[in-house]
Amino acid sequence: MRKIDDNVYVFDHPLIQHKISIMRSKDTSTKIFRELVNEIAMLMCYEVTKDLPLETYEVETPIAKTTGYRISGKTLALVPILRAGLGMVDGIMSMVPTAKVGHVGLYRDPKTHEPVEYYCKLPDDIENRSVYVLDPMLATGGSAVAAISFLKQRNVKSIKFLCLVAADEGIRHLHTTYPDVTIYCAANDKSLNENKYIVPGLGDAGDRIYGTK
């Protein structure tokens, strides 16, 4: 994992770089694209969860008693930004099946490119949890900032943002608005086009996950 700024990390692991490159190709099928989103989310989860607190407990093996370790307390909540963020949930849930899942629905106004909220449902105890906000694409950062503002209003203290491709502009926007939020991405692209798509990016992540184009 490579640090590119305070609280901003790019996963340069060869497996992740290999998989994201396949996702970028316009010839990659919906099925493969969806599988890769999940696989990358799973690989990112391994690194992102490395600070989860552990507690000890007694385990009896067939041979002797020993000390076991388990993740302690109420720990995680995943908050995918609908709809593309949903694509990252299963990969992470396969590693941490006890995580609660909240949902934030935002769409980009096609004219202003500003995020508009249409849905927000979060776990009751969200303020006691570490929250991973999920969205494959961090383009302008508008949706990420809007989703995280809901969490801040609910007094959530520990927030990480996980995405696949992050543009410089989105990183800057999110990082300057919420410097305490750690940003993790699998790739850092430089620019946005006139429609605010990431260049080179991988196209519309939601459309590619759900085959809607």
Count of chain residues binding ligand URA (CB under 6 A) = 9
Does the annotation count 108 as an active-site position?
Answer: yes
- Please give the biggest Cα pair distance in the chain: 67
> What is the rounded CA–CA span in Å between residue 144 and residue 184?
13
Contact characters 38-77, ligand URA, x per CB under 6 A = ----------------------------------------
CA gap 84, 66 in Å, rounded: 43
**Residue 197 contacts ligand URA per CB under 6 A:** yes
Which of 30, 168, 177, 204 does the annotation list as catalytic?
204
Site string for ligand URA, 119-158 (x = CB under 6 A): ------------------x-x-------------------
Report whether 52 belongs to an annotated binding site: no
Give a three-class secondary structure readout of 61-76: CCCCEEEEEEECCCCE
Binding mask 77-96 for ligand URA (x = CB under 6 A): -------x------------
The SS3 of residue 11 is coil
What is residue 1's three-state secondary structure? Answer: coil
Q: How many Cα neighbours within 13 Å face the side chain of 38?
A: 13
Q: Residue 115 in contact with residue 64, Cβ under 8 Å?
A: no
Pair 100, 77: CB distance under 8 Å: yes
166 lies in the binding site for ligand URA (CB under 6 A): no
- Which residue number, 8 or 167, has a Cβ lying nearer to ligand URA? 167
User: Among residues 108, 154, 168, 172, which one is catalytic?
Assistant: 108
Nearer to ligand URA, 68 or 200 (CB): 200
- Within 10 Å of residue 58's Cβ, how many Cβ atoms? 8
Residues at the interface with ligand URA (CB under 6 A): 84, 137, 139, 197-198, 201, 204-206
Active site members: 108, 112, 204, 207
